[in-house]
Structure 1
Amino acid sequence: MAKVLMKGNEAIGEAAIRAGCLNYFAYPITPQSEVAEYLAKRLPEAGGTFVQGESEVAVGYMIFGAAACGERVMTTSSSPGVSLMSEAISYIAGARCPAVFVNIMRGGPGLGGILPSQGDYFQATKGGGHGDYHMLVMAPDGVQEAVEMTMQAFPLAEKYRGPVMIMGDGMIGQMMEPVEFPEDLYVPPTNKDEWATNGMDTRKSDTKNIVKSLYLDPTVLNDHNLLLKSQYDRMKEEEVRFENYNTDGDYQALIVSYGTMSRVCKTAIDEMKAQGLEIGMVRPKTLFPFPEKAIHDAASKPGCKVVVSIEMSMGQMVEDVERVVKGKTPVQWYGQCGGEVPTPQKVMEHIQSLLNS
């Protein structure tokens, strides 16, 4: 299939349609508003529905309603907007409804700024809303991977009956790159008759399907949380995704980085390699489940003196890196936030200073 040049936000919208999602509800917020602009025109052409909610709070519950009916549904937002949806996300997880959320991150906390950031790592991977729940969280490094992960997110949400989040940053939303929409990534919707509120007549059934997250009996609620946990454990077994870069041979330092920041790190690694300095990298493609074994094994290689978590945040992922390295190798953090993106030169200088100290 021929590649087309598209802005990241617009490519995400088109990918959702090609994944069979014809329901999209959203509220505009920079730097992802082009998704809504694109789908406002494109969805009716595909026979779908776009509704702009009066707030992100309202959008969260529109998503819940469509998901409870078994429909493929998506919203996109940016950091403060996702915060406003957090209660609904918890309800969706508790009610075991599949839905896709895309967060094109901006700087924070608060209103912060509209430039790219990775400051929502905690929000996505450690909850964000209340209760013992997780989302499967995927982190693309560019527009092509954002397309692929968006198309994969819908069947994954249905497989685990819960919310899936695509975590990009403002650069991914705003940059233009050539992309293709792989037809083999389309997966037909799974059987929803066992749980969705899609009508007894539709199912030709005498059994009502009730979607809820309220369990007043503590024993029943505990069992429900154990069921959710079993799904998260299954994710850890079946959905861990990562990329190893320059890790086949020996290296003196290991970088852990994700998203567009990892592309900056690749450039720095290549330039250091040309200078005779070998540096490896593990790029998590899933932030939950986290590639624990891959990072631990890479950090434990002989000759690796330090592990550096490089982020466009004040050091959120570094806590998970420290947790999985388990003291085998010293772990450091390096990053910037607020829209400032560390350059390859700055990454090189930091790695060289650590190795020379």
Structure 2
Amino acid sequence: MEKVLMKGNEALAEAAIRAGCKCFFGYPITPQSELPAYLAREMPKRGGVFLQAESEVAAINMVYGAAGAGVRVMTSSSSPGISLKQEGISYLCGAELPCVIVNIMRGGPGLGDIQPAQSDYFQATRGGGHGDYRTIVLAPSSVQELVDLVYDAFDLADMYRNPVLILGDGILGQMMEPVVFKERPARQLPPKDWATTGKMGRQKTNVINSLYLDPVKLEEHNLKLFKKYQEIEAKEQRYEILNGDDAEYFVVAYGICARIAHAAVEMAREDGIKVGLIRPITLWPYPKKAFEEVLPKAKAFLTVELSLGQMVEDVKLSVEGRAPVYFYGRTGGMVPTAEEIFEEIKKMRGLS
């Protein structure tokens, strides 16, 4: 298969078209603006609809409409833009509408800056909107994985009738790497017989709604959603463990941080420290199974993030007090070096 050198944002956009995305609604914001720019050029030529909305709020509600009609639809933004979409995301989850949402994270809070960050973790995994809901969250660590996870995101959204969030960062969106667009066999997915496409031979038209004025009915709906989320937790945890066979210590990192941490792990191994890397690929459901695999031999864990400590809470919940959990983070768009993380690994070993 031919490799193509592409920027992350543009590779993601191309993968979305190939995955069957028919509608995109968004609004430009750095560092993800190349994504809608690519789709603005390519989607109309290839049978799709691109529309730059007047705001992020408008864009996410357009997604609601297209998803309700049963088409594959996507939106993208960066941190403060995703904040504006939170009400619509809650509506999408409440109405059980499949879609893909891309967040190429930048520094915050507020407008912050346009440098890479991972400080939207809580927003993504806890649900920044209102109510008891969850979005599936995928965290790529390379441009190739950005491409691969786009296909998975659309399939998972359709399979579970739920929004899927791809959580990248400014480095992944802007960096260029060779990618391969693999041909994928069609996946068996449930029919969209719930979509608002007219009667289509039915006696009644479909109605899509997230409003339940009867509290008994709303509780029933929430319990139904919760059962779905339990199924997702059981079936869709994804992760990678590197150098785990003989490791006594583990670094935990996702996205671009995982690549930097991997280099630090190799440095530590050259120094005689038996350390491995746990890379979560799903941030929700969080891959607790990875920790169950290594806990019998793990002496300590070091969580590395481009934040002041968000994913570390999920690491602690997964470890359940059975080993110490340490943290190292940079914030505001600052990115740690492999040497910095290597020093933290040495500290972890000394403290444990």
Counterparts of 1:31 and 1:24 in 2: how far apart (Å)? Answer: 18
- Amino acid across the alignment from 2:272: G
- Is the CA contact 2:237–2:289 (under 8 Å) kept in the aligned structure 1? no
Consecutive aligned runs of 4 or more in structure 1 exceeding 3 Å deviation:
185-190
- SS for the counterpart of 2:114 is strand
Q: How does 1:237-256 map to 2 (within 5 A)?
A: 237-249=234-246, 251-256=247-252
Alignment identity in percent? 52
1:40 aligns with 2:35: no
1:297 deviates by 3.4
Aligned partner of 1:92 in structure 2 is 92
TM-score (norm 1): 0.96
CA distances 1:84-104 after superposition (whole Å, capped 9, x unpaired): 000000000000100100000
- Is the CA contact 1:70–1:192 (under 8 Å) kept in the aligned structure 2? yes
TM-score (norm 2): 0.97
Aligned partner of 1:57 in structure 2 is 57
- Is the CA contact 1:312–1:341 (under 8 Å) kept in the aligned structure 2? yes
Aligned partner of 1:140 in structure 2 is 140
Question: How many residue pairs end up in the alignment?
Answer: 351
Structure 2: unaligned runs, 5 residues or longer: none
Give the counterpart of 2:350 among 327, 346, 356. 356
- SS for the counterpart of 1:76 is strand
- Amino acid across the alignment from 1:322: K
1:196 aligns with 2:191: no
1:343 aligns with 2:337: yes
- Is the CA contact 1:19–1:187 (under 8 Å) kept in the aligned structure 2? no
Structure 1: unaligned runs, 5 residues or longer: none
Aligned partner of 2:212 in structure 1 is 215
Counterparts of 1:189 and 1:43 in 2: how far apart (Å)? Answer: 24
Counterparts of 2:92 and 2:296 in 1: how far apart (Å)? Answer: 41
1:188 deviates by 7.2
Counterparts of 2:40 and 2:50 in 1: how far apart (Å)? Answer: 6
Give the counterpart of 1:301 among 296, 305, 328. 296
Aligned partner of 1:314 in structure 2 is 308
- Amino acid across the alignment from 1:292: K
Aligned partner of 1:281 in structure 2 is 277
Counterparts of 1:240 and 1:74 in 2: how far apart (Å)? Answer: 23
1:189 deviates by 6.4
1:205 deviates by 2.0
- Is the CA contact 1:99–1:163 (under 8 Å) kept in the aligned structure 2? yes
1:185 deviates by 5.8
CA distances 1:1-58 after superposition (whole Å, capped 9, x unpaired): 2110000000010000000001001000000000011010100111111000011010
Aligned partner of 1:21 in structure 2 is 21
Counterparts of 1:224 and 1:356 in 2: how far apart (Å)? Answer: 50
Counterparts of 1:20 and 1:106 in 2: how far apart (Å)? Answer: 28
Counterparts of 1:257 and 1:28 in 2: how far apart (Å)? Answer: 29
- Amino acid across the alignment from 1:80: P
